[in-house]
Amino acid sequence: MAHAFLEHPGPLAFAHRGGAAHHPENSWSAFEHAVGLGYTYLETDVRATADGVLLAFHDHSLDRVTDRAGRIARMPHEEIAAARIGGSEPIPLLEDLLTAWPGVRFNIDVKQALAIRPLAAVLRRTGAWNRVCVCSFSAHRLRAARRALGRRVCTALSPAGIMSVQVAGNLSGSGQMLARRLASAGVRCAQVPAVLATRSFIRRAHALGLQVHVWTVNDRTEMSCLLDLGADGIITDEIVLLRDVLAERGEWHPGSRQGAAPERRVAGR
């Protein structure tokens, strides 16, 4: 059975870090631009500060993309709130993004174990259970997240799970067992790099009841080829390009523009 997060009339279009080809990654301006284009799926990352505030931020430190330096896990939010992405953009809180656009869904990459409990707390406060898909490159973090959330949400396969799909697809008995195990855990999709998104992998994933979302695809020809192979979603920085590709195929189904840009919260909690 498909999860509510995945209910959409055509291929899912994910704005990677808000659409990093157009605005600074994981910034308010990036997310606002994507929503303004009609995107209803935003991809982001989460990390927690030393005092448990959950940021939409990719790196373990501020150094690469902001005007400050330091490891996020060792700094209180009051200090981090002064940092600016690209020198001008405040770092969003995940909770503020979820409340800013109640009709938008978020694909959330959990980057550290420290972020798991704050994520559970944010989802409880916002009630956004059906609007998120939780993923991670760590199977351990995914298992811990499922325990902390305390209820089933849409999740993506871990790298180990992706390998299991590749193997189990050739074995009908073990494949059926894997399908039941994945469904009971709330796993509803495989999110993979383009090199793994072959016709055979997509066929095997579909046989297990999983959608296949491919990252991070920024080339027109590659987007079209993957959609022709049966990919269920594309994760891209080039959000204008993906919109145009889907529109040309009659598969672009935008959401509402959802009004004016929301207030940006930057103060510590």
Domain extent at residue 225 = 8-248
Q: Can you tell me the mean pLDDT for 71-96? A: 98
The CATH number for 189's domain is 3.20.20.190
- The verdict on residue 253 lying in a domain is no
- The verdict on residue 120 lying in a domain is yes
- The verdict on residue 79 lying in a domain is yes
- The verdict on residue 268 lying in a domain is no
The percent of residues above 90 in pLDDT, for the chain, comes to 85
- Number of compact structural domains in the chain: 1
Active-site residue, from 58, 60, 206, 253: 58
- For the stretch 14-55, pLDDT in tens is 999 999 999 999 999 999 999 999 999 999 999 999 999 999
Q: Is 33 a catalytic residue?
A: no
Q: Is 16 a catalytic residue?
A: yes
Q: Of 180, 181, 176, 187, which is closest to residue 146 (Cα–Cα)?
A: 187
- Please tell me the distance from the alpha carbon of residue 62 to that of residue 90, in angstroms, as a whole number: 12
233: left (phi over 0), alpha (psi -120 to 50) or beta: beta
- For the stretch 196-229, pLDDT in tens is 999 999 999 999 999 999 999 999 999 999 999 9
Which pTM does this prediction carry? 0.94
What Cα–Cα distance (Å) separates residue 145 from each residue in 32, 254, 262?
28, 30, 29
- The verdict on residue 71 lying in a domain is yes
Active-site residue, from 3, 16, 77, 213: 16
- The verdict on residue 265 lying in a domain is no
Q: Can you tell me the mean pLDDT for 113-141? A: 97
**Residues facing residue 92 across a β-bridge:** none
Q: Of 252, 247, 245, which is closest to residue 225 (Cα–Cα)?
A: 245
Q: Can you tell me the mean pLDDT for 187-199? A: 97
- Please tell me the distance from the alpha carbon of residue 186 to that of residue 193, in angstroms, as a whole number: 21
Three-class DSSP category at 32: helix
* pLDDT score recorded for residue 184: 85
